[in-house]
Structure 1
Amino acid sequence: MTRPLHRFTGLILGLFLTVVALSGAALSVLPALESWGAGGLDMTAAELVSRVTAANPGVEEILVSAAGRVTAYTADATLVVDPVTGAGSPVPAPGAWVTWAENLHRSLFLGDAGRIAVAVLAAAMLGLSATGLRLLARRAGGWRAVLAPQKGRGWARTHAEVARAAALALVLSSLTGLWMTASTFDLLPAAESPDFPAQVSGLTGAALPLDFPASQLRDLTFPRDAQDAFALTTTEGSGYIDQGTGATLAWVAPTWADRVSAWAQLLHTGQGAAVLGLVLGLAALTTPFLAVSGALMRSLGRRQSFASAQAADTVILVGSEGGSTWGFAQTLARALRAKGGQPHLAPLSDFAPETWPQAKRLLVLTATYGDGEAPASAGDVLSRIKTLPKAPAIPLAVLGFGDRSFPRFCAFAEELAAAAHAKGWPRLMPLASVDRQSAQDFARWGRDLGAALGMELSLDHEAPLPATDRLALISRRDYGADLQMPAAILRFAAPKRGLWARLTGQGAFQPGDLLGILPEGSTVPRFYSLASGSRDGFVEICIRRHEGGLCSGQLHAMKPGDQVRAFVRPNPAFHAGDRPLILIGAGTGIGPLAGIIRGARQPARLFFGMRHAASDYYYAEDLAEWQAQGRLTGLHLAFSRGNRPHYVQDALRLEAEALREAVARGARIMVCGGREMGAGVRATLSDILSPLTLDRLAKEGRYAEDTY
């Protein structure tokens, strides 16, 4: 229910919320302008009053705003006062745009009816913030993970990141706006006012007890005759002072409602906190973006050609990180609909069995993110399954998507299936998997599903190819030709990005992301880890030529000026981050590690394994230069061929104590290379770091692998 409530509230009221938010953002600059032009109040209230009265004879009232602006009223004029000199000048008339923006923001030009409408919009914004935070927690995998880096990509990730950054400010603006509306319509406890004293001294000329900071003064009204008294209002209360004796004749401290109202005024308008006002204004500017991005997500991710959750006989839930699993799910849903079924398609984070009254089966298609973690659209589904009072009666089938080259292939799908089994969920089919988005694996599972459902089910899935760029080779460095072990570092010109793309980060990439290359004569991309980032201004990979390899053969045959069709796939699990780095690689696995060292913001220590220094010492000149620059604080080489074979695992053992100390100080370990090397490194690190486990480091974001 949370997602539909959030979605439809945003879609229906998005335009009105945008109008109120933009007008509020425009008004948020006024307290800053007023504060910057107000001058200092670094004095007592007595000094301020003395200066104002000396420079402006006939003053009847002095008003000090929360922003520090001093206004003096005489019988003939209203003056803005410089508190340093006491000199006053006529108050400038507010600009027409200010009056217009205030009326728009407070009442939509509709008077009291408009104020009520704006209050409804504030309540809607509060509701959107609450449901949005709930969805963020669900998307991240629980409330504790809300502040962690958001997973996924595209509009969904951007929407989540912006919403998370603005959520607190939007909640504050909504709550304070509602409070101020309640105050406007006298719905709050009435403020207590001091009664005018029944008796005054009738004397004049006493010094006023104003030895408090001038910033606490709000209003001082001068007596009109000998039987009158000074009326004083400060941040600590209001009352009357005898003009002859200086005695306080009556005083009322602010009530809790008064204090809350003062805070609401400060938080909502920024009066008295100019920087806060600007922050809230900036947060308000996210409202139109969130409205537009939410609508785009709705449009781009629309699945309404399928049945609703309430009417569906088959519920298909999708756990996806990059979006490719959605394509398989749509193929499945279309095939079931063609057989007369009523499938419902939704993200795994929408897991809610109570909303599927007609469902006869549940099919879960889920990828695994990083090192066995839940993907972006899975949210906290595992904890929700585990806390179910009992499992639903409808049978369940789980299909995992992953890459067998990774050590925890389909680990999240396995964990989900195990949690459902432990809860006693009936099983429609055994857990199955699809390796590297294989259409054949998917079709095979579809036939098994059809048999379980008593129908012929053909799942012919064609994954759409991403948009590619033509990358021109600009240079190459070749290695190993003399020893019949050819490898090369290939540097391509970076694809051109427009101004908007650069401002929004679209098309940006980092070392460790993947470059998908479409070889001539094939529609199946081959992926290589990037050894460069957008800031480097080029695209670089380090590859070895494999005997009979279609893509590696074509790449090794390229000359400067030749072009290749390619695209970048984000791989955020293998980004460097801001921690000190322990980099471990072998062979061409040095590629992304070299790119990380080139742009590292923290010191890095590298363990590099190779066969022969003469053939496999890739990036030798660069590594020496980076070591001289201090980017590389340690370089440990291991040669596996020769009289004394030495592997990268041996280099790690020799530095065991230093590794333990670096990890204890928070270092992040990154491993890249062949699968066998990766397995050996894992075993060695497990021994060195025991009792600390690599699983724990991985969950903390301090251990990452990219093996092949």
Structure 2
Amino acid sequence: MIRALHRWPGLLALALLTILSLSGAALSVFPAAERIAAPQSQAGLTVAALASRIQAVYPGVEQVRRSPSGRITAYWFDQGAPGAAVIDPATGEGVASADPNQVERWLTNLHRSLFLGDSGRIAMAAGAAAMLILSLSGAALVARRAGGWRHWFARLRGPLAGRLHVEIARIAVVGLVLSSTTALWMTASTFDLLPDGGSIPVAPAEVSGETGFALDQMPTLRQTPVAELRELSFPYPGDATDVFTVKTDRGTGYLDQGTGALLAWADLTGWERVSETIYMLHTGQGAATLGLVLGLMALGVPAMGATGILVWLAGRRGRPRIRGNQPAVRAETILLVGSEGGSTWGFAATLHAALTEAGQSVHVGPMSGFAPERYARAERIILLAATYGDGAAPASAKGFLDRLSTLERAPDIPLAVLGFGDRSFPAWCAFARDVAAAAQAKGWPELLPLDTIDRQSPQDFARWGRALGDVLGIGLELSHQSVQPQTTTLTLVSRRDYGAEVQAPTAILRFALPRVPLWQRLLGGGFARFQAGDLIGILPEGGAVPRLYSLASGRLDGFIEIVVKKHPGGLCSGQLTALEPGDTIAAFLRPNPGFRPGRSRAPLILIGAGTGIGPLAGFVRGNARRRPIYLFFGMRHPNSDFFYGEDFPDWQDEGRLTRLVTAVSRGARPHYVQDALRGEATEVAELIRNGARVMVCGGRDMAAGVADALAEFLAPAGLTPAVLKAEGRYVEDVY
């Protein structure tokens, strides 16, 4: 609901909002420019002294005005001809033309009414209303994506367009809410939809009938600083019954032109002060700095419009269209999805179609939109939850566990949790397990026990579907066909071979950078942006599930590189290690932001074995800033699988690699990488105590041994791998 409320006003009103924001941003400059250019009042100058000076220069003066910027303008008649000028308060003389800036007038008419009068004002008011809706719904979506209002400035992940959209919104939303709200107030005031609330002093019953009292002797004018003046109107020449009218920041009064006496006075009402404050907040008149800030925030609208369209287009490509999706308030089955790359949404679409065909009313939405108060007719809730990284919530499930924890009690609606993951990874369906455990702790009734789907297996999904059908009393056959990611053709340009002597053929494969379309550069999709440690997915010929390999290069290196070991019976590894220069493969990119060295200058301790050296070598090669890097590399034998052995000396000479420690497991004295760590325990412990970051890549057994070794010699310092993980200083890419 919130997403639709945010999306459609933005798409439909984008052109109008762009005009509104750009013209508003341009107009925000004028109050500041006027304040800088205006001759400023002298300290302590009174209205009496100022009016006397102006009258001495322009005897036919009719009115003196002071704008919120401090500019003073006088209007007069000289032998029947009108005149006006910006006044220097020190002399009372005109120093500049009082004619309005033509550009400012044009922009004002565009901003207020599109040059269309009342109909244009209504259109711009509709634009302001759309901006308010977008701002409020956008703020709710940002909070949902970040995992709650408390995490408003949490670090983001995902494509560049989406991150830019949210980053701009985080900063600009306050200004946009303020600008749109004040614009709607001013429009309502223009059309007399708000009460006037103003006060006018009662006209004096009697005046002296005399004229000629000196301005600089009038008590009220002598007591009023110029800084408080808004307007001073002079009596009509020759009319002894007319009066001076003075308007200040405090109110309005009438002065006798023959005696200088104050005949009547009315203070500004609270309503007038509110209206004036709103005018100041919207236009910047009287608050030039605030106006410039709001103008800068308004520039975020076209930027968010452009990135929003890119995000919308990417979402349409990455998520299947679910036909007949019912509103949550009317659905019998609530189906919530936690997905990072989009594949779990495909399973949700298959389940939605099967349940709908069986006569069920089904709503599909993200887990981040969990709102049990809306599930008025729901008879069951089903969660399809993937896992991100080392057990974290995927993108569309951010904030779910926080929202569940704040509930006083779990919904009475039975729950089923289905986890998606890859059994070869240590954090196998960890997020789904956390969700199931949290639901059980809350006393949430169970529809089905927790189940899992390994590597997007259609067979596993069909098996679970039959179990669900049995519980619902319907025949449910789930026939899912995974939609593979859009791939790019990569051409092999070189290869380096290792391991033949020990019957473990391994190759470092280097592919040419593919040509990237403009739309992918804008979205950050495809191979437009990648870093060492990101993942490349390859679907082997005759296979149904893509295999993922860690990248040993970044975009700036100018090539795509992976390290592949041929596994007995391995379909994908066999095809890759058989490639020759000039051969091609179809591949896709999957970002892996959880396994990156970061921008800190703190030392890096890189630990890997076998093909796990790939991303670690990429980090070393990309270390142009000469950050201290200590690399621990485990291999079978230096003559057969010392991957990147010819590169390490050059990287050390260039300052990219501080120290290399190797461990050989097939020599006369078998030595593993965890043993190498123990041998350098004193130095490693000192580096970690001083803030070093540890990155581990390789097999699960190796990673477990490394964690045990670190736990041993870090214990005296009160540190453990778990503590380092909580601090973000220990990350793994384990298979």
TM-score tier after normalising by the smaller chain length: 0.7 to 0.9
Please tell me the residue identity of whatever aligns with 2:23.
A
Unaligned runs of 5+ in 1: none
1:607 equivalenced with 2:631 (yes/no) = yes
- For residues 410-429 of structure 1, the aligned pairs below 5 Å read 410-429=429-448
Equivalence for 2:42: 45
2:176 to 170, 173, 177: 170
Equivalence for 2:155: 149
1:505 equivalenced with 2:524 (yes/no) = yes
Contact 1:585 1:607 in 2 (8 A): yes
Instruction: Tell me the number of residue pairs that the alignment of Structure 1 and Structure 2 aligns.
Output: 701
Identify which range, 315-324 or 286-295, moves more after superposition.
286-295
1:475 equivalenced with 2:472 (yes/no) = no
Equivalence for 1:593: 616
Deviation for aligned residue 1:19: 0.9
| Separation of aligned partners in 2, 1:392 and 1:339 | 25
1:379 to 398, 403, 412: 398
Q: CA separation of 1:204/1:362 partners in 2, compared to 1, >3 Å: closer, same or farther?
A: closer
Q: CA separation of 1:89/1:385 partners in 2, compared to 1, >3 Å: closer, same or farther?
A: closer
Deviation for aligned residue 1:628: 4.3
- For residues 209-608 of structure 1, the aligned pairs below 5 Å read 264-265=278-279, 267-271=281-285, 272-273=288-289, 275-286=292-303, 288-289=305-306, 292=309, 296=313, 297=315, 302-481=321-500, 484-507=503-526, 508-579=529-600, 580=602, 582-586=604-608, 587-600=610-623, 603-608=627-632
1:102 to 85, 93, 108: 108
Deviation for aligned residue 1:57: 4.8
Deviation for aligned residue 1:282: 1.0
1:25 to 22, 25, 35: 22
Deviation for aligned residue 1:147: 1.5
Deviation for aligned residue 1:430: 1.8
Deviations 1:504-545 (A, max 9, x none): 433322222111123344453221111222233321212233
Deviation for aligned residue 1:482: 5.1
| Separation of aligned partners in 1, 2:267 and 2:695 | 62
| Separation of aligned partners in 2, 1:7 and 1:304 | 15
Q: CA separation of 1:492/1:173 partners in 2, compared to 1, >3 Å: closer, same or farther?
A: same
Identify which range, 556-565 or 637-646, moves more after superposition.
637-646
Contact 1:368 1:410 in 2 (8 A): yes
TM norm structure 2: 0.79
Contact 1:609 1:640 in 2 (8 A): no
Please tell me the residue identity of whatever aligns with 2:152.
V
| Separation of aligned partners in 1, 2:101 and 2:666 | 82
Identify which range, 104-113 or 267-276, moves more after superposition.
104-113
Deviation for aligned residue 1:401: 0.7
Please tell me the residue identity of whatever aligns with 1:556.
T
Deviation for aligned residue 1:555: 2.7
| Separation of aligned partners in 2, 1:269 and 1:631 | 54
Q: CA separation of 1:102/1:43 partners in 2, compared to 1, >3 Å: closer, same or farther?
A: closer
Q: CA separation of 1:167/1:599 partners in 2, compared to 1, >3 Å: closer, same or farther?
A: farther
2:4 to 1, 4, 7: 7
Q: CA separation of 1:631/1:192 partners in 2, compared to 1, >3 Å: closer, same or farther?
A: farther
| Separation of aligned partners in 1, 2:621 and 2:224 | 61
Deviation for aligned residue 1:328: 1.1
Rg: which structure is higher? 2
| Separation of aligned partners in 1, 2:200 and 2:296 | 34
| Separation of aligned partners in 1, 2:155 and 2:405 | 25
Deviation for aligned residue 1:95: 4.4
| Separation of aligned partners in 2, 1:83 and 1:472 | 76
Deviation for aligned residue 1:288: 3.6
| Separation of aligned partners in 2, 1:538 and 1:83 | 69
Deviation for aligned residue 1:592: 1.5
Q: Cα RMSD (Å) of the superposition?
A: 4.7
Deviation for aligned residue 1:413: 0.9
Contact 2:532 2:618 in 1 (8 A): yes
| Separation of aligned partners in 2, 1:155 and 1:305 | 29
Identify which range, 182-191 or 403-412, moves more after superposition.
182-191
| Separation of aligned partners in 1, 2:147 and 2:302 | 28
Q: CA separation of 1:82/1:541 partners in 2, compared to 1, >3 Å: closer, same or farther?
A: farther
| Separation of aligned partners in 2, 1:193 and 1:120 | 33
Deviations 1:407-455 (A, max 9, x none): 2211111111122222333323221111222222222222333333344
Report SS of the residue matched to 1:584: strand
Deviations 1:274-315 (A, max 9, x none): 641431221232464477468655796643424443443333
Contact 1:6 1:128 in 2 (8 A): no
Contact 1:159 1:290 in 2 (8 A): yes
Deviation for aligned residue 1:667: 4.7
Deviations 1:114-142 (A, max 9, x none): 65665565455334433332233233322
Please tell me the residue identity of whatever aligns with 1:342.
S
Contact 1:38 1:82 in 2 (8 A): no
| Separation of aligned partners in 2, 1:362 and 1:391 | 12
Deviation for aligned residue 1:670: 2.4
TM norm structure 1: 0.82
Report SS of the residue matched to 1:45: coil
Contact 2:253 2:262 in 1 (8 A): yes
Q: CA separation of 1:44/1:241 partners in 2, compared to 1, >3 Å: closer, same or farther?
A: farther
Deviation for aligned residue 1:341: 3.3
Deviation for aligned residue 1:326: 0.8
| Separation of aligned partners in 1, 2:224 and 2:641 | 79
Identify which range, 601-610 or 39-48, moves more after superposition.
39-48
Q: CA separation of 1:306/1:175 partners in 2, compared to 1, >3 Å: closer, same or farther?
A: closer
| Separation of aligned partners in 2, 1:166 and 1:222 | 42
Contact 1:45 1:217 in 2 (8 A): no
Contact 1:9 1:124 in 2 (8 A): no
Please tell me the residue identity of whatever aligns with 1:269.
T
Identify which range, 602-611 or 622-631, moves more after superposition.
622-631
Contact 2:162 2:307 in 1 (8 A): no
Q: CA separation of 1:79/1:42 partners in 2, compared to 1, >3 Å: closer, same or farther?
A: closer
Deviation for aligned residue 1:484: 4.8
Unaligned runs of 5+ in 2: none
Please tell me the residue identity of whatever aligns with 1:305.
G
Identify which range, 419-428 or 566-575, moves more after superposition.
419-428
Report SS of the residue matched to 1:595: helix
1:680 equivalenced with 2:705 (yes/no) = yes
Equivalence for 2:135: 129
